[in-house]
Amino acid sequence: MSKPTIAVTHLGCEKNRVDTEHMLGLLAQAGYGVDSDEEKADYVLVNTCSFIEDARKESVRTLVSLAEQGKRIIISGCLAQHFQGELLAELPEAVALIGTGDYQNIVNVIERVEQGERVTAISEIPTFIANEQLPRYRTTTESVAYLRIAEGCDYRCAFCIIPHLRGDQRSRSIESIVAEAHQLASEGVKEILLISQITTNYGRDIYGEPKLAELIRKLSSVPVPWIRLLYLYPTGITAEVVQALKESPNVLPYLDMPLQHSDPDVLKSMNRPWQAEVNDRVMDTLRENLPGATFRTTFIVGFPGETDEQFQHLVRFVKRHQFDHLGVFTYSQEEGTPAGSLPNQIPEKIKKQRRKALMIAQQPISLRRNQALIGQTLSVLIEQENPEAGEFIGRAARFAPDVDGQVYVKGRGLGLGSIVPVEMMNADTYDLWGQLVQA
């Protein structure tokens, strides 16, 4: 008797993507057919997101659509962890729920479903983290891979539900991470992106202190051209971490720091573990010590009680520090978080106005920083081909996948996954255009 076929849909962040990839690997290892065609599949596995309201709406829309098609649905991820009782009650088509710390049990869950059981596999407090030995089938382009170094979070920011959904921080060993990095290198990966909730806190739970600098140095021997760090807390970018970056040529000087705000009173209300003047000092120090670094950050506007003056403080901060890349989110009121019950919630209209205003303030900064690259030759990772336009599309080291810009390269015969020298000829706010430099 043949095993059922399972279609898999991934929603949410790249940490969620890694969970999806492990489930795909486990299913394939166990002999299940994995198909992208939901019509032909016996089950549809949806790995959901529940971080903010918009993400929940997308997850729910996906589930309702599948239910209306009469599909048998396996719901995994943050929405399952968050709303298990409601999902079971509202979606009779849901044959199984799998929590954020239980995806490693996917094969057992399906075996039980096949026996007629309606399965809930959800640990109340997630404690699992996968290592390099758990099967994995990557869903990114062949040249790019995400490598999760830790799971969960020990901080309790007032707006964030992640610790409730994914538990406290639990780090992998340096040896485990380096072993997986070597595996990825052997598969032809050209860029590894290190991810966790707070990458600068890596190792604190198992080593007694953060070990990011040591990890960076160990990874510098892995034969991968680009290693990128995501989700850094500014105060965790210590002198030791900066020195490790300087000594590790394949670890990119790309600093992704979700600062969230600049005003000290807003940061205090957010329960962020530093204050505004610290942000200023850290940025100045990093500019001084890493003059060629690329800086990316994200901010939240419309946090409860945020005044016009506090928002203008943020605008001035952005103009002062001249970030290369900047993302802006409107505050999402989340039930079960401290901020969710704060007074003075900001109307949606004002949140959207502030988001637009901050993005407009950033646009000339991004444009100037891109235009400053015209005439320079940058290494570009080629990821797509557009034969009709006679060009390829890739990324320079200053662009992370999916969130930053791209480089459009005139040229022929470039191999996907190759890193080539490109002279920058033109730039706009987000993207660059260049010409292949012939050897």
Q: State pTM to two decimals.
A: 0.93
Burial of 362 (0-12, 13-18, 19+ CB in 10 A): buried
CA distance 108 to 286: 48
Query: How many C-beta neighbours within 10 Å does residue 384 have?
Result: 12
Q: Please state, in angstroms and rounded to a whole number, the distance separating the CA atoms of residues 391 and 375.
A: 19
Counting every residue written for the chain, the total comes to 439
Residue-by-residue pLDDT tens, the chain, 439 positions: 688 889 888 888 888 899 999 999 999 999 998 877 788 888 889 898 776 677 778 888 888 888 888 888 899 988 888 888 888 888 888 899 999 999 999 999 999 999 999 989 999 999 999 999 999 999 888 999 999 999 999 888 888 888 888 999 999 999 999 999 999 999 999 999 999 999 999 999 999 999 999 999 999 999 999 999 999 988 889 999 999 999 999 999 999 999 999 999 999 999 986 665 677 888 888 889 998 899 999 999 999 999 999 999 999 999 999 999 999 999 998 888 888 888 899 999 999 999 999 999 999 999 999 999 999 999 999 999 988 888 999 999 999 998 999 999 988 788 999 999 999 999 999 999 999 988 6
Of 76, 51, 86, nearest in space to 164 by CA: 51
Question: Could you tell me which residues come within 8 angstroms of residue 114 by beta carbon, excluding any fewer than 6 positions away?
Answer: 4
Count of C-beta atoms within a 10 Å radius of residue 291: 8
Q: Give the Cα separation of 352 and 54 in Å (integer).
A: 14
Annotate 237-295 with DSSP letters as a single string.
--HHHHHHHHH-TTEEEEEE---B---HHHHHHHT-SS-HHHHHHHHHHHHHH-TT-EE
